[in-house]
C-alpha cells in the first residue's frame, strides 16, 4: 500500500522500520488497537507539525515525531496500551 | 583487580599492570600517528563506552543516549569557547570556565534524560534513549543559532595540551582521565549506591518492596553515566577541534554500542578493548584494496564473529582463557560483575 503512495529508494527501509517501531512503541507492544492509534498519532503529528509551524520552522516537524514518543514513554513507560509481561 | 582483597597475582592484575605500563610508554613504542590519532581516539571512545557498560553491567540499562550527552557537552564547549569565524554562539570564554559550564549543561541534560527514561525497562528503555539521542541530533542539526548541519569548527584547546606545544600531551591527559574514570566507575559500583543499583538490576520489584526508590536510583545512575560520557565529549572536541550533528548521529550511537558489545557489555575494561579494535579497523580497513568501500560490512562481519564465538565479547574470551587459574567460577555472574560483597537483600 505504501508503495503506491510513497517513493522507493535504497535506505527507505530504515525509515519505514524506524517509523513502524515508533508506532508500535507508542501504541504499546502486543496491542493491535494500540498500533492503529499509534500510527494515527504519528501521522497526524508529523503532518500537522509540518503544516502549522511557521515557514522558517517547517524542518522542525521531524523533531515533533520524536517528542511525541518521548512524551508518551515519559507518561506511560509501556506505551499507551502496553501491559506488563 | 581490587587491592583490598589480598595481594594475589591474578592474571587480571598482571594483564592490567602490563597494559597500563604499555599505555604509559606508548609514545616510545608506537609511532606518533598511532599515539596522537588512534590511541587517543581509543581512550576517549573507551570512556564513552565505559559509561554505557557501567549502566548496562551494574544497572541493567542499555542506553543509546550516551552519544547524545557526549555531543551536548561537546557542542556546549564549542559554543562557549569559540570566538568568531564559525557557527554557534561564539561566546569566546576561556577554556576552564567553558569546561565547567559545558559539563554542567551536560549534567542537567543527563538528569532530564534520566528522569524521562528511568521508569522504562528493556526495549522501552532502549527506545526512549534512542529517541532522546535522535532528538539531540536533530536539535543541533536544525537550530542554526547553536550549530546547524555544518557544526562548529576551530574549537580551541588549552595551550599546554595543544599538539603544537607537545605532540603527546593530549594523549597523556586523555590517558589520565581514562584511568580516573575507570577507578571512579569501579569505586561507585562498590558504594552502597552501586550495590543497590545492582540489586535493582537483578530484581526491581524486590528492591522496591525493601523500600528503595528504584526510579530515583536508576535516574541518578543514568545522570552519573551521562557525566562520564560528557567528559569523553570534552576530550573528543579537543582532539577533533570541531563537532557536527553527524558526530552524534544514529551511526555514531550504534558505533558506541558496537564498541561496548565487541569489548564485552559486562566488564568496564571491555570498553577500551572494544574501542581499540574498532578504531584500528575503522582506520586501516578502508586502505585494504577490495575492502575500501565495504568496510562497514567488514565491521559487521567481525562483530558477528565475536558475538557468535564469545557472547561476552573479547573480555569473555580473556576470561575463558584464564578460567583455569581463577578462584571464582567463570559463570558466576555476581563475581564477574564486581559485586563480591553480598548484596543486602534483607
Q: Which one of B135, B205, B208 would you mutate to disrupt binding with A, by most A Cβ within 10 Å of its Cβ?
A: B135
**Which 22-61 residues of chain A touch chain B by CB within 8 A?**
22, 25, 29, 59-60
- Tell if the CB–CB gap between B124 and A70 is shorter than 8 Å: no
Cα end-to-end span (Å), chain A: 32
Structure confidence by residue, pLDDT tens digits, B141-180: 888 888 888 888 888 888 888 877 787 889 999 999 999 9
pLDDT (0 to 100) of residue A46: 84
**What is residue B102's predicted lDDT score, i.e. its pLDDT?**
95
In this structure, of A17-26, A30-39, B62-71, B101-110, the range with the lowest mean pLDDT score is: A17-26
Chain A closest-CA separation from residue B121 CA (Å): 8
pLDDT band at A3 (very low <50, low <70, confident <90, very high): low
Instruction: Quote the minimal CA–CA distance from B65 to chain A in Å.
Output: 13
Residue B145, C-beta contacts closer than 8 angstroms, at least 6 positions apart: B88, B89
Query: Which of B195, B197, B191 has the alpha carbon at shortest distance from B61?
Result: B197
Q: Which residue has the higher pLDDT, A51 or B289?
A: A51
ipTM above 0.90, yes or no: no
pLDDT at B329: 46
Torsion of CA B188, B328, B308, B255, to 10 degrees: 20
Chain B residues with beta carbon closer than 8 angstroms to that of A69:
127-128, 131
Compute φ and ψ for B152, nearest 5 degrees.
Answer: -105, 135
pLDDT band at residue A76 using 50, 70 and 90 as cut-offs: confident
B277-315 b/e with 16+ CB inside 10 Å = b? Answer: bbbebbeebeeeeeeeeebeeebeebbeebeeebebbbb
Provide the pLDDT for residue A20. 85
Q: pTM value?
A: 0.84
Name chain A contacts of B135, Cβ cutoff 8 Å: 63, 66-67, 70
The pLDDT assigned to A85 comes to 62
Say whether A25 and B142 touch across the interface (CB within 8 A). Answer: no
Among B230, B204, B200, B205, which Cα is nearest to B111's?
A: B230
- For residue B64, give how far its alpha carbon lies from the nearest alpha carbon of chain A (Å): 14
Measured CB to CB, residues of chain B less than 8 Å from chain A are 116-117, 119-121, 123-124, 127-128, 131-132, 134-135, 138-139, 142
Q: Provide φ and ψ at A81, rounded to 5°.
A: -120, 20
Q: What is the pLDDT of residue A49?
A: 85
CB contact under 8 A, A73 and B127: yes
Contacts of B10-18 with CB under 8 Å at 24 or more apart are B10/B325, B10/B326, B10/B327, B11/B322, B11/B325, B11/B326, B12/B322, B12/B326, B15/B318, B16/B269
pLDDT tens, chain B, 346 aa long = 445 555 677 888 888 899 999 999 988 888 888 888 899 999 999 999 999 999 999 999 999 999 999 999 999 999 999 887 677 778 888 888 999 999 999 999 999 999 989 988 888 898 889 889 988 998 898 888 888 888 888 888 888 888 777 878 899 999 999 999 999 999 999 999 999 999 999 999 999 999 999 999 999 999 999 999 999 999 999 999 889 998 898 889 989 999 999 998 888 999 999 999 999 988 887 777 776 677 778 878 888 888 888 888 888 888 888 876 555 544 444 444 444 444 443 3
Cα→Cα distances B167→B37, B45, B56, Å: 10, 20, 35
Residue A17 at interface with chain B, using a CB cutoff of 8 Å? no
Q: Are the beta carbons of B16 and B2 closer than 8 angstroms? A: no
The helix/strand/coil state of B152 is strand
pLDDT at A50: 81
**In 3-state terms, what secondary structure has residue B333?**
helix
Overall residue count recorded for chain A in this entry = 85
| Alpha-carbon dihedral angle through residues A17, A23, A27, A32, given to the nearest 10 degrees | -70
Residues of B in contact with A73 (CB under 8 A): 116-117, 120, 124, 127-128, 131
pLDDT at A82: 80
Interface test with B, best of A77, A78, A79, A85 (most B CBs within 10 A): A77
The kind and range of the H/E element at B136 are: helix B122-142
**Beta partners for residue B243, in sequence order:** B152
Cβ–Cβ gap B116/A60 under 8 Å: no
Contacts of A59 in chain B (CB under 8 A): 142
A60:B117 CB<8 A: no
The predicted pLDDT at position B230 comes to 96
Return the residue of B nearest to A70 by Cα: B128
Q: Which three cell numbers stand for residue B171?
A: 594523549
Strand partners, B152: B243
Which residue has cell 543499583? B197
A70, B131 Cβ separation under 8 angstroms:
yes
Mutate which: B65, B117, B138, B218, vs A, most A CBs within 10 A: B138
**Cβ contacts of B63 on chain A, cutoff 8 Å:** none
User: What does the alpha-carbon distance between residue B258 and residue B275 come to, in Å, rounded to a whole number?
Assistant: 9
Positions of E strands within B18-135: none
Yes or no: say if B241 and B27 are a contact pair by the CB < 8 Å rule: no
pLDDT of A12 > 80? The answer is: no
The DSSP secondary-structure symbol of B343 reads P
**Cβ of A79 and B138 within 8 Å?**
no
Please write the tens of the pLDDT for every residue from B263-284: 988 889 999 999 999 999 888 8
Amino acid at each position: 500500500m505504501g508503495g503506491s503512495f510513497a517513493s522507493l529508494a535504497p535506505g527507505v527501509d530504515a525509515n519505514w522500520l524506524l517509523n513502524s517501531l515508533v508506532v508500535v512503541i507508542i501504541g504499546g507492544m502486543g496491542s493491535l488497537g494500540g498500533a492503529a492509534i499509534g500510527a494515527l498519532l504519528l501521522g497526524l503529528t508529523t503532518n500537522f507539525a509540518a503544516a502549522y509551524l511557521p515557514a522558517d520552522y517547517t524542518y522542525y516537524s521531524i523533531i515533533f515525531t520524536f517528542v511525541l514518543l518521548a512524551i508518551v514513554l515519559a507518561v506511560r513507560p509501556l506505551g499507551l496500551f502496553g501491559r506488563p509481561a | 583487580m581490587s587491592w583490598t582483597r589480598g595481594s594475589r597475582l591474578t592474571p587480571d592484575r598482571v594483564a592490567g599492570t602490563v597494559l597500563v605500563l604499555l599505555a604509559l610508554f606508548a609514545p616510545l613504542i608506537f609511532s606518533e600517528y598511532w599515539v596522537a590519532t588512534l590511541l587517543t581516539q581509543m581512550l576517549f571512545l573507551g570512556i564513552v563506552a565505559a559509561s554505557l557498560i557501567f549502566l548496562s553491567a551494574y544497572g541493567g540499562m542499555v542506553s543509546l543516549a550516551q552519544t547524545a550527552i557526549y555531543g551536548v557537552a561537546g557542542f556546549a564547549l564549542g559554543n562557549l569557547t569559540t570566538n568568531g569565524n564559525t557557527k554557534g554562539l561564539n561566546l569566546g570564554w576561556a577554556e576552564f570556565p567553558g569546561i565547567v559550564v559545558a559539563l554542567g549543561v551536560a549534567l542537567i541534560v543527563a538528569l532530564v534524560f534520566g528522569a524521562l527514561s528511568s521508569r522504562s525497562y528493556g526495549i522501552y528503555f532502549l527506545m526512549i534513549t534512542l529517541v532522546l539521542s535522535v532528538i539531540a541530533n536533530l536539535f543541533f542539526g536544525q537550530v542554526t543559532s547553536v550549530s546547524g548541519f555544518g557544526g562548529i569548527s576551530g574549537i580551541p584547546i588549552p595551550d599546554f595540551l595543544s599538539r603544537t606545544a607537545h605532540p603527546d600531551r593530549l594523549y597523556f591527559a586523555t590517558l589520565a582521565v581514562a584511568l580516573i574514570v575507570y577507578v571512579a566507575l569501579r569505586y561507585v559500583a562498590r558504594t552502597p549506591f552501586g550495590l543497590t543499583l545492582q540489586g535493582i538490576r537483578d530484581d526491581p520489584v524486590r528492591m522496591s518492596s525493601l523500600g528503595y526508590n528504584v526510579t530515583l536510583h536508576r535516574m541518578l545512575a543514568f545522570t552519573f553515566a551521562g557525566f562520564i560520557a560528557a567528559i569523553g565529549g570534552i576530550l573528543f572536541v579537543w582532539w577533533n577541534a570541531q563537532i557536527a550533528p553527524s558526530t552524534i548521529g544514529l551511526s555514531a550511537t550504534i558505533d558506541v554500542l558496537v564498541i561496548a558489545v565487541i569489548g564485552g557489555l559486562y566488564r568496564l575494561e571491555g570498553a577500551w578493548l572494544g574501542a581499540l579494535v574498532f578504531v584500528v579497523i575503522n582506520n586501516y580497513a578502508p586502505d585494504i584494496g577490495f575492502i575500501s568501500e565495504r568496510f562497514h560490512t567488514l565491521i559487521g562481519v567481525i562483530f558477528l564473529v565475536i558475538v557468535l564465538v564469545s557472547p561476552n565479547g573479547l573480555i569473555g574470551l580473556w576470561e575463558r582463557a584464564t578460567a583455569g587459574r581463577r578462584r571464582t567460577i567463570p559463570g558466576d555472574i555476581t563475581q564477574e560483575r564486581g559485586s563480591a560483597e553480598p548484596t543486602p537483600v534483607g
